[in-house]
Amino acid sequence: MNKKILKRFDSLRLEGEKARSNVIRPGSTIIQVGSATCENAAGAREIREEFRKHIASSGRADIVLHDVGCTGRCSLEPIVGILRPGERPVKYQQVSREGVHRIFTDHVLHGQPVAELILDGTQKSGSRYEILFCRGERCGNLAARGLQARLRERLEQRGVGADVVAVQGVNFADMCVGESKFQGGHFLVRPGNHLYRVASDADLERFIDEHLLADRPVQELIVQEQPIGQNFFELYGDISFFNRQSRIALRNSGIIDPTSLPEYLNAGGFHSLARVLAAGDPDGVIAELSASKLRGRGGGGFPTGSKWQMARKEPGGEKYIICNADEGDPGAFMDRSMLEGDPFSVVEGMIIGGFAIGASRGFFYVRAEYPLAIERIENALAACRKHGLLGEDILGSGFSFDLEIRLGAGAFVCGEETALIHSIEGERGQPRIRPPYPSQSGLWGKPTVINNVETFANVPVILEHGAEWFRHIGSDKSGGTKVFALAGKVNHTGLVEVPIGTTLREIIMEIGGGCPKGKRFKAVQTGGPAGGCIPATHADLAVDYDTLTAMGTIMGSGGMIVMDEDDCMVDIAKFFMKFSADESCGKCTPCREGSKRMLEILERITAGEGREDDIAKLERLGLLMKRTSLCGLGRAAANPVLSTLRHYREEYAAHITEHRCPAKRCAALVRYSILADKCVGCTACARNCPANCIAGAAKKPHAIDPERCIKCGRCFRVCRFGAVERN
Amino acid sequence: MKPEKILKRYGRSGDNLLAILHDIQDASPEHYLSDADLRSAADYLRLPYSFVHGVASFYTMYSLKPRGRNLIRVCQSPPCHLLGSSTISRELIKVLGVGFGETTADRLFTLEMTSCLGVCGVAPAMMVNDRVYGNLTAERIAGIIDDLRRAQ
Ligand SMILES: Cc1cc2nc3c(=O)[nH]c(=O)nc-3n(C[C@H](O)[C@H](O)[C@H](O)COP(=O)(O)O)c2cc1C
Ligand code: SF4
Ligand code: SF4
Ligand code: SF4
Ligand code: FES
């Protein structure tokens, strides 16, 4: 252990603490506004400006505006958090300018939360204490469940009611740290954020007597270590979308200011790097990663430790490390969110990677469509250079390493690692045949490690809390969590981080809240254009790399596109094929031509002009592409078609033989008409029709001109009298 | 900024090509790379013109023909499609009076398709220059375009 390095780090951390407390003085009221692309798209920019004005005109120096990354709750953005000293934090949803005014006047200035704007309608209970009790489902700690039930019983027996305490079952997964992990039960008590570990009924009694009834926290039962998810739970633990998640890769997103190195340091950042450099043992780092069973989060699921090991054992000279931030899978946005919300974690993971494999230069390859992420990375790199965390002789360890940013230019295929390398070299981003693998011969012919954003973000925590802890959270074969991006027909779109092995049902129905408007959940597409669909009947599938492969799909980067009963599987397969045909780089014939042919056939089928042998043709072409394409794009492009054919063959058949779209989605196969006996002549449809093809006098039955109707379906949606028919 | 000035900020090494093309295009009021731009980049980096042209035409974000002052890029990927991106596209075509790949007569807007913008959580979405708009509805389109017109 090189003590000098740790000392350097400690002084850096102290410096950071000072810098931070100059910005946020103790006793301040903090207004937290999300500042990620999705938040801004939903209007966060205007909200922030509005709060700034309000703070300025209030003349209060103890009210601070604090930018944070995104919490991952896309559907309810912009989200605003109000943290008044000594009170439980309150979060608001879909805040508008008028909302800002009310929140500021009522809550910030006068301490009265604005009930109807509160995120998910939580915190209405009004109880003095709130207990978030880990259900132990993730680690299989069943003792926890028994203890929770007994706590509830005892509260009832003692007559401690809802005015005093509200108990919620949550999933921590990562809260069980330290010596006695996985024993007893864990719960967090708010306000105060005391994390209790209890083992017996006597412990429960003591907690009730002393903490709940006499307001004296029981120090002997309180866990002293700071578990990684604690900051997150302190802020968001009362919300069911969040309290079933285990935030490890996303540990700082939505909590810290992503542009502030002091805040990252304050959250424990760069401690792993300092320890790694002080220990000076690259092989030890790799061994720890291998033992953690961390697998690549970019799609392939290759064990990260093995990849680093291969690059490390290549003979000396120059080596490179690359972060793949080309995220282009439709439906995936976790990498963007992570880079916007917590860029330092990824940077730290990369520096550790550079040290482990023996690289002195590394690259971020970021898609140019992510300007804010690029800005945040640039800012993070500059801050690290300034404080000796990048550049020559990092923390006085003798290890020198620096990072550069390279931009993509709108080509999905550049996410493929050999294409990415060509793109960094300044060429057309076309893949080449592997082997040799990049770990042997990569950028400029040198050994190169390429990892995904999320993979790197996990590295510092694994080294901080240990491989065993990380492995325990995941499944037998894959350690840790996975961040999923919920999109499509799901109530709570956004980012969900759960242990690998969590069921689809929990992710989509419980955390995601199921489909909007009470529609039936039909299927979910995982793995984007390279993956396949999983019908709702398999909702109890435990999500892991291998279980998904067995279902004919892949984990991919973690996108989950949810479809409901109104969605047509042929139509969605067509859209994925269109994506692949557009993005095929054209280098090899099976992919270039195959994707075009398959798209033509799918277009024909959805237009009602399918032919008897089209299904067989799709299967033949699909298998051909799978077997003979050069890179992963072409090899996987047929997956959405093959998997929908596997599970929804009858939908294809209905289109082809009966010229019918069972989901009534394919425009060419549906007709809209108005039932004269139900139409009351309210004119709503006519006013909304973009083609102006609905005629009729007020209070008289209307009629659609089928010649001019573009089948947008708007009349069907706006008619409140069920008079528009679709068949 | 003049292309010559941009070139000088970079070393004469081929791996700077993409960044140079980005910068030249960003500096161009018409958001595109002219033949002369490609030639000066090729000369500066000592690369064949055909190679530079090949790179510029491979990546979808580079345009070899002039575009309007505002680039509107509408996401066409499946998640946005599920939530009605086709209605948004139709509305944009109606409001702007041009189709995809075309520029309005006043040269204020070019309408383009794009693959997923990575904001599927607020689908359907589009990007105007560097700014992302989410949770779009057909009703909001005319107002957004008006605002952009007025901002000129
Ligand atoms: C067409 C195609 C696109 C890809 N896009 C990405 C991407 O955007 N991000 C990513 O991390 N990996 C992507 N990959 C996977 C990478 O090639 C590579 O396996 C990955 O970056 C390795 O990192 P990991 O081991 O940490 O997952 C893509 C693969 C293919 C075939
Ligand atoms: S499979 Fe497709 S994307 Fe990959 S090299 Fe061949 S043509 Fe290009
Ligand atoms: S489907 Fe659309 S175009 Fe056709 S009548 Fe209804 S509103 Fe008009
Ligand atoms: S909206 Fe319905 S009831 Fe009203 S005019 Fe149209 S069809 Fe008739
Ligand atoms: S699918 Fe449109 S932003 Fe992702």
Residues of chain A found within 8 Å of residue B120, distances taken between Cβ atoms: 330-333, 485, 487-488, 493, 559, 561
Q: Closest-CA residue in chain B for A572?
A: B78
Look up residue A157 and give its two tokens: 């027996």
Q: What is the rounded average pLDDT of the residues A161-179?
A: 73
Rounded to the nearest angstrom, the distance between the alpha carbon of A580 and the centre of ligand 2 is 10
Q: Please answer yes or no on whether B79 and A331 come within 8 Å at the CB atom.
A: yes
Across chain B, how many H-helices and E-strands are there?
7, 4
ipTM: 0.97
CA dihedral B110, B114, B117, B122 (to 10 degrees): 80
List the residue whose alpha carbon is closest to atom 7 of ligand 3.
A689
Residues of chain A found within 8 Å of residue B140, distances taken between Cβ atoms: none
Select the residue from A74, A339, A496, A716 to test the B interface by mutation, using most B Cβ atoms within 10 A: A74
Q: Which of B58, B80, B105 is the last residue of a domain?
A: B58
Q: Is residue B129 part of a domain?
A: yes
Q: Which of B35, B58, B81 is the last residue of a domain?
A: B58
Please report where in the chains the tokens 């997956």 appear, as a residue: A639
Query: With 90 as the cut, is the pLDDT of residue A316 above it?
Result: no
**B84-118 tens-digit pLDDT:** 999 999 999 999 999 999 999 999 999 999 999 99
Report the amino acid identity of residue A608: G
Across chain A, how many H-helices and E-strands are there?
27, 21
Task: State the pairing for strand pair A448-452/A320-325.
Answer: parallel
Query: With 50 as the cut, is the pLDDT of residue A179 above it?
Result: no
CATH code for position B132? 3.40.30.10
Q: Does B132 lie in the same domain as B92?
A: yes
Q: What is the rounded average pLDDT of the residues A66-93?
A: 91
Q: Is residue B64 part of a domain?
A: no
Q: Does B147 lie in the same domain as B77?
A: yes
Q: Does B95 lie in the same domain as B23?
A: no
Give yes or no for a contact between A279 and A355, defined as CB atoms under 8 angstroms apart: no
Give yes or no for a contact between A423 and A411, defined as CB atoms under 8 angstroms apart: yes
Q: Does B93 lie in the same domain as B26?
A: no
Q: Which residues contact A121 (CB under 8 A, 6 or more apart)?
A: none
Q: Does B75 lie in the same domain as B34?
A: no
Q: Is A588 helix (H, G, I), strand (E, B) or coil?
A: coil
What percent of chain A is modeled with pLDDT above 70? 97
pLDDT reported for residue A602: 98
Question: Where are the extended beta strands (E) located within A213-277?
Answer: none
Give yes or no for a contact between B96 and B111, defined as CB atoms under 8 angstroms apart: yes
Q: Does B108 lie in the same domain as B40?
A: no
Instruction: Tell me phi and psi for residue A456, to 5 degrees.
Output: -65, -40
Task: State the pairing for strand pair B70-75/A724-726.
Answer: unpaired
Query: With 50 as the cut, is the pLDDT of residue A178 above it?
Result: no
Q: What is the rounded average pLDDT of the residues A620-641?
A: 97
Give yes or no for a contact between A405 and A377, defined as CB atoms under 8 angstroms apart: yes
Instruction: Tell me phi and psi for residue A363, to 5 degrees.
Output: -135, 140
Give yes or no for a contact between A331 and A487, defined as CB atoms under 8 angstroms apart: yes
Q: Is A295 helix (H, G, I), strand (E, B) or coil?
A: strand
Q: Is residue B54 part of a domain?
A: yes
Q: For residue B85, which of B74, B72, B93, B94 has the smallest C-alpha distance?
A: B74
pLDDT reported for residue A124: 55
pLDDT reported for residue A310: 97
Q: Does B136 lie in the same domain as B97?
A: yes
B106–chain A nearest CA distance, Å? 25
**A41-65 tens-digit pLDDT:** 888 999 999 999 999 999 999 999 9
pLDDT reported for residue A617: 98
Query: With 50 as the cut, is the pLDDT of residue A693 above it?
Result: yes
User: Is-cis flag, bond preceding A690, omega within 30?
Assistant: no
Q: What is the rounded average pLDDT of the residues A426-447?
A: 96
Residues of chain A found within 8 Å of residue B121, distances taken between Cβ atoms: 38, 72, 74-75, 333, 485-487, 493-495
Calpha distance A234→A212 (Å, rounded)? 18
Query: With 80 as the cut, is the pLDDT of residue A4 above it?
Result: yes
End-to-end CA distance of chain B: 20
Q: Does B140 lie in the same domain as B74?
A: yes
- Give the pLDDT band (50/70/90) at residue A112: very high
- Give the pLDDT band (50/70/90) at residue A138: low
**A383-415 tens-digit pLDDT:** 999 999 999 999 999 999 999 999 999 999 999
pLDDT reported for residue A182: 57
Rounded to the nearest angstrom, the distance between the alpha carbon of B137 and the centre of ligand 1 is 33
- Average pLDDT of chain A to the nearest whole number: 93
Q: For residue A429, which of B146, B58, B147 has the smallest C-alpha distance?
A: B58
pLDDT reported for residue A181: 56
Other Cβ atoms within 10 Å of A475 Cβ, number: 19
Query: With 60 as the cut, is the pLDDT of residue A613 above it?
Result: yes
Q: Is residue B63 part of a domain?
A: no
Instruction: Tell me phi and psi for residue A281, to 5 degrees.
Output: -130, 85
Q: Does B74 lie in the same domain as B49?
A: no
Q: Does B50 lie in the same domain as B17?
A: yes
Select the residue from A361, A428, A576 to test the B interface by mutation, using most B Cβ atoms within 10 A: A428
Select the residue from B116, B132, B140 to test the A interface by mutation, using most A Cβ atoms within 10 A: B116
How many separate domains does chain B show? 2
Q: Which residues contact A111 (CB under 8 A, 6 or more apart)?
A: A84, A87
Q: Which of B58, B80, B103 is the last residue of a domain?
A: B58
How far are the Cα atoms of B2, B23, B143 from residue B28, in angstroms, in the given order? 9, 9, 27
Q: For residue A303, which of A49, A479, A513 has the smallest C-alpha distance?
A: A479
Answer whether A298 contacts ligand 1 (Cβ < 6 A): yes
Q: For residue A138, which of A461, A504, A462, A474 has the smallest C-alpha distance?
A: A474
**A470-511 tens-digit pLDDT:** 988 888 899 999 999 999 999 999 999 999 999 999 999 999
Tens place of pLDDT per residue across chain B (152 aa) = 788 999 999 999 999 999 999 999 999 999 999 999 999 999 999 999 999 999 999 999 999 999 999 999 999 999 999 999 999 999 999 999 999 999 999 999 999 999 999 999 999 999 999 999 999 999 999 999 999 999 88
Q: What is the rounded average pLDDT of the residues A206-234?
A: 87
Q: For residue B126, which of A72, A572, A41, A391 has the smallest C-alpha distance?
A: A41
pLDDT reported for residue A122: 65
Q: Which domains does chain A have, with CATH numbers?
A: 3-121 (3.40.30.10), 129-238 (3.40.30.10), 269-472 (3.40.50.11540), 474-564 (3.10.20.600), 569-657 (1.20.1440.230), 671-726 (3.30.70.20)
Look up residue A598 and give its two tokens: 């398959």
Q: Does B79 lie in the same domain as B129?
A: yes
Q: How many CA atoms lie less than 13 Å away from B49 in the CB half-sphere?
A: 7
pLDDT reported for residue A132: 87
**DSSP secondary structure string for all residues of A14-70:** HHHHHHHHHHS-TT-EEEEEE-SHHHHHTTHHHHHHHHHHHHHHHT-TTEEEEEE--
**A38 at B interface, C-beta within 8 A:** yes
Answer whether A586 contacts ligand 2 (Cβ < 6 A): yes
pLDDT reported for residue A173: 59
Q: Does B122 lie in the same domain as B91?
A: yes
Candidate of A692, A709, A718, A725 to mutate for ligand 3, largest count of ligand atoms within 8 Å of Cβ: A709
**DSSP secondary structure string for all residues of B114-134:** ES--S-GGG-S-EEETTEEE-
Please report where in the chains the tokens 């994390």 appear, as a residue: A195
Q: Which of residues 327-356 of A touch B (CB under 8 A)?
A: 327-333, 335-336
Which range (A98-112, A121-135, A156-170, A302-316) has the least confidence?
A121-135
- Where on the phi/psi map is residue A386: left (φ > 0), alpha (ψ -120 to 50), or beta? alpha
Calpha distance A366→A559 (Å, rounded)? 18
**A374-388 tens-digit pLDDT:** 999 999 999 999 999
Query: Residue B93 sits in which domain range?
Result: 70-151
Q: What is the rounded average pLDDT of the residues A164-190?
A: 72
- Give the pLDDT band (50/70/90) at residue A29: very high
Please report where in the chains the tokens 């981003």 appear, as a residue: A429
B117–chain A nearest CA distance, Å? 7
Instruction: Tell me phi and psi for residue A417, to 5 degrees.
Output: -65, -35
Q: Which ligand 1 atom is at minimum distance from the Cα of A633? A: 1
List the residue whose alpha carbon is closest to atom 6 of ligand 4.
A685
- Give the pLDDT band (50/70/90) at residue A18: very high
Q: For residue B146, which of B119, B120, B128, B123 has the smallest C-alpha distance?
A: B128
Q: What is the pTM of this model?
A: 0.94
